[in-house]
Structure formats: structure tokens, C-alpha cells
Amino acid sequence: MDSQSKNTSASGAAGAAGYSVNLPSDLEYIPPLRQFVAEIARVEGFSKKFCFRTEIIVDELVTNGILHGSQDVHSSVTLAAKFEDGAMNLSVQDQGGTRQNLENLKRAVYSPKPPSNDKKKGRGLVIVQMLSSEIKIDLGENGQTQVHVVKTKDPDENQPQREKLLYESDL
């Protein structure tokens, strides 16, 4: 028990808790991965609601990374999560898809618009926008795409302002 408390306090003193996972570009890894991130968010003191929403964000971003940002079967996707000051900084990096994929990603992030009702795809990043506080894209030198999401703690558990605005514009 002594060593447990010693190690816990040591890591707490080191600052933000950072986790990273690099995994093969394979959809089968997504269910355990999203549960893992939700569980560590819970360990880091975030609410159940926050963790459930985090699970949705992770699912969407990693699915996109695998389906649109993987060039071959040897590709991988890296997820990094950092928890500090009541916020979660999440980033998902893939190896980069086609130019069209990148254009679609930019459009979805910087000018989000839900697809029409008859479309079966295209809602993932709109949902991520609704559930997060901030989202941006970075492009690496070798074509990698990195999507950063910041999600802040919502102490009163009210719906975030961004979510209301998107619904209003949709109506």
C-alpha cells in the first residue's frame, strides 16, 4: 500500500497524465480502444457522461483514421490523450489518405454541415464537433493527418453551447 501511494503521488507531481496507443489500422481494435479511453478518463476524475461522450469521439475519429487515412494493411493509427486542468486533449494521427479524403476532412471540420436525411454517412465529425469544445487538423510533413480535439469538463452537466447552436442552425 505504501508503494502504491508513493507512485501515485509521484506521477501526480509530474504534471499532466499522458497516455498513447499505437494500433494497427484495423476496425476490430476500435471497441476495446474506445472503452479504454473512456475508462482512463474516469480514472482521471471525469464524469460518466463525459466518458461516454469521449467514447463516441474516439470511435468516430479512429474509424475515420482507419477507413480514410490508411494507405495499406501495414498502416497504423496513433491516439494520444492528455488530461489536465479539467480538460482532455485528444489527438488521433493516421498516415494520411487521398487528397479527396483530406478535402472532405477539412470541410467537415471547418465548415460542418449535417448531410441530408437520405445520406447514410457523413455525420461522424458533426457529432464530434457537437460533443467537443475545440477541434483542429494538423498535417505532417509526410502526409500524416492529425486531428486534435479538446473536451473540457462540464461541471453542471448542461449541454454545451456548441451543441445548441448546431441544432438551431439545422432547424
Least separation, in Å, of the C-beta of 84 and another protein? 12
The only residue of 66, 88, 130, 135 in contact with another protein, by rule CB under 8 A? 66
- Helix, strand, coil percent content, the chain, rounded in steps of 5: 45, 25, 30
Contact region with another protein (CB under 8 A), list: 10-18, 87-95, 142-150, 158-166: 10-18
Own/partner pairs, 131-136, CB within 8 angstroms, 24+ separation: 131/53, 131/56, 131/57, 131/160, 131/163, 132/57, 132/162, 133/87, 133/160, 133/162, 135/109, 136/109
- Cα 141 to Cα 136, 145, 160: the distances in Å are 17, 9, 34
Nearest residue (CB) to another protein, 70 versus 145: 70
Does the footprint of another protein cover residue 26 (CB under 8 A)?
yes
Nearest residue (CB) to another protein, 76 versus 133: 76
Contact region with another protein (CB under 8 A), list: 21-29, 106-114, 124-132, 156-164: 21-29
Nearest residue (CB) to another protein, 35 versus 133: 35
Q: How many Cβ atoms from other residues are within 10 Å of residue 35's Cβ? A: 14
Query: Closest Cα partner for 92 from 4, 22, 169?
Result: 22
DSSP labels for 20-32?
EEEEES-GGGHHH
Does the footprint of another protein cover residue 7 (CB under 8 A)?
yes
Nearest residue (CB) to another protein, 10 versus 171: 10
Q: Which of residues 79-118 bind another protein (CB under 8 A)?
A: none
CA gap 6, 108 in Å, rounded: 45
Least separation, in Å, of the C-beta of 127 and another protein? 18
- List of residues contacting another protein (CB under 8 A): 3-4, 6-8, 10-11, 14, 17-29, 31-33, 35-36, 39-40, 43, 66-67, 70, 72-73, 120
